[in-house]
Amino acid sequence: MNLVPLLGHASLDDVFAWRADGPVRVRDFIADAEALAALLPAGRHQLNVCHDRYRFAVGFAAGLLRGKTSLQPASQSAETLRQIAAECPDVYCLSDGEFDSLDLPRFVFPAMPAVDAAKVAKIPAIPAELIAARLFTSGSTGRPVAHDKTWGKLVRNGRVEAERLGLLRQPHSIVGTVPAQHSYGFESTVLLALHGHSPFWSGKPFYPQDIVAALQAVPAPRLLVTTPFHLSALLAAGLEIPAVDLLLSATAPLSKQLACAAEAACQAPLHEIYGSTESGQLASRRTTADLAWELLPGVALEQADETTFASGGHVEGRVPLSDLIEIRADGRFLLHGRNADMVNIAGKRTSLAYLNHQIAAIAGVVDAAFFLPDAETADGIARLCAFVVAPGLSRRQLVADLRQRLDPVFLPRPLVLLDALPRNSTGKLPRERLQALYAEQVHDGGR
């Protein structure tokens, strides 16, 4: 049996995480994980919905020690929970706060018994072949799909990302605005703490003032793991941002304009990570320097017809990608949008990502999203609509600006002004939320 250490630290006295009451050493983390492992109920599958990042990590490690698989849906909707219950009848829910688990058995994260961390003598090892996590797609384009990740591949994922970001040479304190359950948040906070030598802040800040407070709570050098949505809100808040040494963004395309503004405000380089729940992280780039992406060590891309496949390194098998990719001669590649984002109206093609970029670039637009409904209009032609947050701007002004940027066939009919868009905790707008918004504001509302 091939065994891989639970953590990659050289010393049991290294800092693993930062909590409100101070640092947590590696030996403390192991002691907590072993204590929780002894208390966990039977069942191979554990649905870990802990909000506190440290408790999530303890629950994940405790599950590994018991040979369990951590179920990590990006959405915790009732429909997703029912799907999990049907597929994993032995599942129980590990939580550390209020959570409607429907009919799933609940195990509340306990007040940890007093343990003598000094007795921890070594870092435990986990079978490399153990299915350590089952990650679910966000459901942006339909029913969430599960993807199994073995422990050995997850460790390799964390190590290659840490190597690319320079964390193995210089560990950073990580502040993450993305939930630990989400594939990006899991890889770039939890795995980087376990095998990238970089301790994370236990909280999950969402609002700008909370992000600032979290950065103040950890020592330099600091790494902010965030999204374009959170980053834009942070810069717009006009707060004094504590020194940040490295910025990391994912989950949605990042405009060069926002990347430049972030680097200027934080005086730190910003890198993007590209990947998917299906494949794991695949490549990175410094957005202000180059639009091309560089693959992570060991990862390879190949193309067949119009589909690009990822394999090698930490990728589980040969995974088809949903994006339109142009592979360059030097091995780097460009992204040209998602296949599911492509829009074809009156014989003309574009992507939702391009349309969203154009409307977001209009001065005064705070947030916006184009949407192509499932249903066609009475004349059989698909009609784009757009939901926009733009205080102080009228529909007429917005449409006039869009006419300067877009072919007339892609102008939204209608354009709906809102106070806010129903984004989830990672800043995404799953299709079902946009469909519900369309039904409420346009279809049923008769606009």
Model pLDDT, residue 34: 95
Model pLDDT, residue 337: 72
DSSP string, 340-402: GGEEEETTEEEEHHHHHHHHHTSTT--EEEEE--SS--TTS----EEEEE-TT--HHHHHHHH
Rounded average pLDDT over 36-54 = 95
User: Which of the residue ranges 216-230, 267-281, 283-297, 329-343 would you say has the lowest mean pLDDT?
Assistant: 329-343
Q: Is the peptide bond before 269 cis (omega within 30 degrees of 0)?
A: no
Model pLDDT, residue 25: 97
Model pLDDT, residue 4: 97
Interatomic CA distance for residues 228 and 248, integer angstroms: 10
Query: What is the residue type of 387?
Result: F
Model pLDDT, residue 145: 84
Model pLDDT, residue 138: 58
Q: Within a 13 Å sphere around the CA of 59, how many CA atoms are in the beta-carbon half? A: 30
Contact criterion met (CB below 8 Å) for 398 and 375: no
Q: What is the mean pLDDT of the chain?
A: 90
- Look at 53 and 112; give whichever has higher pLDDT: 53
- Number of H-type helices and E-type strands within the chain: 12, 27
Residue 323, SS3 per DSSP? strand
Model pLDDT, residue 381: 52
Name the pLDDT band for 408 (thresholds 50, 70, 90): confident
Interatomic CA distance for residues 187 and 279, integer angstroms: 12
Q: From the centroid of its chain, how far is CA 62?
A: 23
Q: What pLDDT, in 10s, does the model give residues 165-185?
A: 999 999 999 999 999 998 999
Interatomic CA distance for residues 375 and 357, integer angstroms: 24
pLDDT beyond 80 at 347: no
Q: What pLDDT, in 10s, does the model give residues 72-127?
A: 987 777 777 888 889 999 999 999 988 877 888 999 998 877 778 889 999 999 99
* Percentage of the residues of the chain whose pLDDT score is greater than 70: 93
CB-based burial label for 19 (10 Å; 0-12, 13-18, 19+): middle
Residue position matching structure tokens 């599911």:
340
Model pLDDT, residue 175: 98
Give the domains, in start order, of the chain with CATH numbers: 3-336 (3.40.50.12780), 346-443 (3.30.300.30)
Rounded average pLDDT over 209-237 = 95
Rounded average pLDDT over 374-398 = 78
Rounded average pLDDT over 315-330 = 92
Model pLDDT, residue 444: 63
Interatomic CA distance for residues 440 and 447, integer angstroms: 10
pLDDT beyond 80 at 253: no
Model pLDDT, residue 379: 39
Name the pLDDT band for 164 (thresholds 50, 70, 90): very high
